[in-house]
């Protein structure tokens, strides 16, 4: 089944404890990205990657890191999480470098206390 998977789906952690949210797609998509969704602010792009080893900042990159060492994986790293990073996170992918239909993962609910 063609899909985007994220792990974990739910995570409660404490301020300053490094964490990684994994994202994987099995559709051989070139483009992958991360979004966060917050009440009243909608979905905003954190980082995106047009291909392996090519990443760039979105609208809200502060406090996050990404890497794209393999085409299928695009992990999101929070080196020192803070309570303002409590959010619902989505990973997405699309076939082409841009314009193609975006497919979203199931989301990761992160709470930082």
Partner 1 sequence: GIQVEQSPPDLILQEGANSTLRCNFSDSVNNLQWFHQNPWGQLINLFYIPSGTKQNGRLSATTVATERYSLLYISSSQTTDSGVYFCAVWKDYKLSFGAGTTVTVRA
Which of 59, 77, 79, 80 is the binder for partner 1 (CB under 8 A)?
59
Residue count, binding to partner 1 (CB under 8 A): 26
101 makes contact with partner 1 (CB under 8 A): yes
Q: How many CB atoms sit inside 10 A of residue 81's CB?
A: 22
Query: Binding to partner 1 by residue 97, rule CB under 8 A?
Result: yes
Cβ 38 vs Cβ 46: under 8 Å: no
Q: How far is the CB of 34 from partner 1 (least distance, A)?
A: 11
Q: Which stretch binds partner 1 (CB under 8 A): 18-26, 60-68, 78-86, 98-106?
A: 98-106
User: Quick one: which segment of 14-22, 67-75, 76-84, 93-101 binds partner 1 (CB under 8 A)?
Assistant: 93-101
Out of 42, 62, 69, 113, point to the residue binding partner 1 (CB under 8 A).
42
**To the nearest whole angstrom, how small is the minimum distance from the Cβ of residue 104 to partner 1?**
4
């Amino acid at each position: 089944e063609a899909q985007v998977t994220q792990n974990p789906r739910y995570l409660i952690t404490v301020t300053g404890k490094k964490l990684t949210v994994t994202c994987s797609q099995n559709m051989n998509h070139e483009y992958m990205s991360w979004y966060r969704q917050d009440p009243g602010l909608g979905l905003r792009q954190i980082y995106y990657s047009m291909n392996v080893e090519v990443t760039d900042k979105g609208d809200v990159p502060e406090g996050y890191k990404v890497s794209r060492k393999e085409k299928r994986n695009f992990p999101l790293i929070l080196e020192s999480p803070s309570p303002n990073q409590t959010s619902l996170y989505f990973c997405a992918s699309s076939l082409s470098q841009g314009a193609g239909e975006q497919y979203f993962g199931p989301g990761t609910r992160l709470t930082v206390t």
